[in-house]
Structure 1
C-alpha cells in the first residue's frame, strides 16, 4: 500500500500505544536469520473490513485495545525494537530485535464513506483514490532512529455507516503473511475468550545447501547499496497496486483451460500463476526477464501457537521457450516440474554480503506468492467475520509481485470458492494488465 492518496476521506487521526500486559525478561532478544534479513526492506500491510452489524457498531476503542495487552504478552517480540551488534573483527554489524516491551502503535481514524461505498471504489478511478486501501494502513518504515521505530501499527478506522476496518502494518523481519495474519486472528480469539497457549518455535524449514553455480539465469535477490538505519529500498520505478476478484466460476474456467490435455494436476495457484505470467510477458514484449519468476510458498500454513517467522520457501522457475506465446498449461507444467528451491543461495548471499549490501526479494524477479491457505478470514470481532480482506507487500522491486489470496466468503459465511489476486506492478503496466484480464478471462 505504497500509493499516495490523491484525495483522502480519512480524518481525525489519533495515536496511542499498547504494551504487553506483563514485562518480558530483561535479556530477551530475537536473533534475525538470513531469511529475516532478506526481507528487511519489505513491509506487510493487511486490511480487514467489517460491515456495520450491531455487534461491530457497539465495539468501543477500549473493547478493541484491551485484548491487545494480553496478545502482546504472548507475542512479545512484536513489541520490541531493532538493535545492532558488532560481529567479528571486520567492524560489521547485524540487526536483532530487543524484546523491550516498547509496544505497538495504535491509530484511530474516521472515514466519511460507508463500507459499501469504499469497497465499490476501483483503484484505477482517476478522480477517486490511488491505491484504494493505502490510507487505511498507517505505513511507516523502520528508522532512521531504530530504537524508536515500532515494528507494527494497527489502524482502526470507523466508517460513516458504523462499519470498521482494521489495518495492520507489520515489518517483514518479524515474519511472513502467515505469521502476521495469525497474530491478528489470535487477537480475535482473545476477544472471544478462547484459551491461549505458550508460543513454540516454528518448525525448522529444510533449506538445501547452495550450489556452486546458479541454476537459474537471474539472481533471486536484487542487491542494493546499504540503506543504513532507514529501511527503505530505493527504486526509480513508480509502482501501483490493483486487486482482481476471481469468482468460483471464473476459477473453474481457468483451471479447466490450464489443465486441458495435460497429464499433470495443477493447483489453483499454479493455474493462476500461469495465466498472469503469460499476460505480463505479453505486456512486457517478452523482455529478457520474462522467462524467470520467483515463487514463494509454504508447507506450514497453520502458524497458530508459533513464534512469528519467515517460513516461506523461496523458489525459482525458468522457461526455456518464449512465455508470451506459450499455452497456459505448458507454463503450469514448467512451474510444477522445474521449480528450484533457492533458499540456500539466498541464505549464502545474505550472510556473505550483508555488510556491504541490502536486498530486495519481492520483485527482484516477477514474484508469485501462494497465500491460498492463509487463514485471512479467521479474524472475528464479536462473532462477526470480515466481508473483505486484502494483503499487500511494501518495498516491491520493479519486476512486480502477484499475491494469490483466498476470496471473500459468501453472505452466509460459507467459503466463496474464489480468489483475490493483488498485484503490485510498474504503474505503466497496470492499465494493459486490466484490459488483458478482462478481455481474455472476464476478470476485473
Structure 2
C-alpha cells in the first residue's frame, strides 16, 4: 500500500437515488459510440482550498442537490443489462443509485498537492471501480468526498465512459454544483427522453443485424475481455504523470505558429518515438470534441477522431512539420466507426484510447466550472482508465489558464503510459532539445 493510500482512511459508503421514481421499465439505449467507449473510465479529482464555505458543507448538504440532479440525469442511477438473443447492452433506469464515498486524509491540502509522489497522487481520492463482473449491481458513477487535515476537500468523480464523453461528464457534475449553489434555472433544463417505457425491455433492445464483422477503422482496436469485467486486457502496468507546460516553453518550440494542442501533441509524439525506437510506420489518433449535444442528448459520446500515419518514425520528422500535419488532419472518422458496429450482430469490445497512441484535446472542457457556493477548485487532476498499451495524452486546462488579456498561460498534460516509459519520457522532455521541466 502506498503512502497516499495510507493517508486516506475512514471510508464510508452510501447511495443516492433520484428524487422521483423513474420506473424499472424505462430504458436508456446505448449508441454505437457509447459501446466503443465501454471499456474506458473517466476519473477526475477536484481540489477545493480550505474556506468557511467548503469546510462548512456537511455530507447532507452535498447529497441534497443530488436528488433533483438525478431527476435530470436519471440514467446515472441505472445499471447495465443485456438484451436477449445477442443484442446490445442497455441501461435499465431502475434507480439503484450512484455510490457515495466519504473519507478523510491525514495530510493538509498543501502537503498533498506538493508531495513528491505526484504521479499517482490522485488515485486514492477517486474510486477505481469498473463495471462487472456482476453488471446488474455495478454502479455507473461514484463520487468520493475526502476531507483534508486542517480543512479543504477533494471531490473524486468516477464516470463510466459508456454514459458519455468528458463534456457530458463535466457538464453533469457542474450542474450538480449549480444546484448546490442554489441556481433554480438548472431545473428548467430538458430531460433525457426515455427510449422505452414498456415491458420486456430485454426483448426490445437489440443490436442492428448485418452481414457480419468488418475490419476495424484505424482509430479503434477490437479486444476480448474476461467474462463480464469491462476492462481491457493489458500485459503492461499503466501509470500516469502530469506535466505543466508554460506558454514561454511552447514559444521556444515554435508554438506561436500552431495552436497549443497540436504543438504539445507533436512534442510528446516525437519524445515517445525516441523512447520506443520503432522502425515501422507510426500511427496516432487525434480526438477532439464533437458537435454540441441536442436537447435530448445531454448524455452522449461524440468525438471527431482522425488517424495520422507516418511513413517513418515521428522522431525523424521536424517538430513544426509534425504539429502542422496534426493541425491539418481534422477529418471525422466517427461515421466509419459506427458503420462498423452496424455490421456486427454481437456485442462489441473495442478500445479507442491507446489502440494507437492517442492525443485528446480537452482544452474546451470546463474542468474548473464546478462551483461550491462560489468556491472553485484550485486544481483538477483528470485521467482515463482502461487505456491500451500505446498510451494516451490528455491536454487539459490548468488552474491559471488565462491572463487579463485572455491569453493561455499554461497547459496541463496528463500522460497515461506503460509505467516503465514515464521516467524515460521525463528525461527526454527535460533534455536540451526541448527544455520542459
Per the normalisation by structure 2, the TM-score is: 0.88
User: 2:334 aligned to 324, 331, 343, which one?
Assistant: 343
Change beyond 3 A, Cα 1:249–1:302 = farther
Aligned pairs (5 A) from 1:140-159? 140-159=129-148
SS in 1 for 2:67: helix
The CA deviation at 1:335 is 1.2
How far, CA to CA, are the matches of 1:429 and 1:303 in structure 2? Answer: 41
The answer to whether the Cα contact below 8 Å between 1:82 and 1:97 also exists between their aligned partners in 2 is: yes
SS in 2 for 1:30: strand
User: 2:109 aligned to 106, 112, 115, which one?
Assistant: 115
2:22 aligned with 1:24: yes
The answer to whether the Cα contact below 8 Å between 2:4 and 2:124 also exists between their aligned partners in 1 is: no
The answer to whether the Cα contact below 8 Å between 2:65 and 2:176 also exists between their aligned partners in 1 is: yes
How far, CA to CA, are the matches of 2:7 and 2:173 in structure 1? Answer: 25
The answer to whether the Cα contact below 8 Å between 1:319 and 1:334 also exists between their aligned partners in 2 is: no
Q: Which residue of 1 aligns with 2:315?
A: 324
The answer to whether the Cα contact below 8 Å between 1:46 and 1:389 also exists between their aligned partners in 2 is: yes
Per the normalisation by structure 1, the TM-score is: 0.86
The CA deviation at 1:161 is 2.1
Change beyond 3 A, Cα 1:160–1:73 = same
Aligned pairs (5 A) from 1:269-418? 269-288=261-280, 291-300=282-291, 306-353=297-344, 355=346, 358-409=349-400, 417-418=409-410
The CA deviation at 1:304 is 9.3
Unaligned 5+ residue runs, structure 2?
194-213
For each residue in 1:333-354, what CA deviation from the matched residue of structure 2 results, as whole angstroms up to 9, or x when unmatched? 2112344432233223334346
The two structures, once aligned, show a CA RMSD in angstroms of 2.7
Change beyond 3 A, Cα 1:412–1:331 = closer
How far, CA to CA, are the matches of 1:113 and 1:426 in structure 2? Answer: 29
Q: Which residue of 2 aligns with 1:99?
A: 93
For each residue in 1:53-72, what CA deviation from the matched residue of structure 2 results, as whole angstroms up to 9, or x when unmatched? 12111111111111111111
2:430 aligned with 1:430: no
Which region of structure 1 is more displaced relative to structure 2, 316-325 or 232-241? Answer: 316-325
The answer to whether the Cα contact below 8 Å between 1:5 and 1:131 also exists between their aligned partners in 2 is: no
Unaligned 5+ residue runs, structure 1?
125-129, 203-212, 261-265
SS in 2 for 1:20: coil
The CA deviation at 1:17 is 0.4
SS in 2 for 1:274: helix
How far, CA to CA, are the matches of 2:35 and 2:242 in structure 1? Answer: 28
User: 2:176 aligned to 187, 190, 196, which one?
Assistant: 187
Q: Which residue of 2 aligns with 1:199?
A: 190
Change beyond 3 A, Cα 1:432–1:65 = same
For each residue in 1:268-315, what CA deviation from the matched residue of structure 2 results, as whole angstroms up to 9, or x when unmatched? 1111111111111111113435x2100111144689985211011222
Change beyond 3 A, Cα 1:386–1:222 = same
How far, CA to CA, are the matches of 2:377 and 2:428 in structure 1? Answer: 30
User: 1:50 aligned to 24, 48, 51, which one?
Assistant: 48
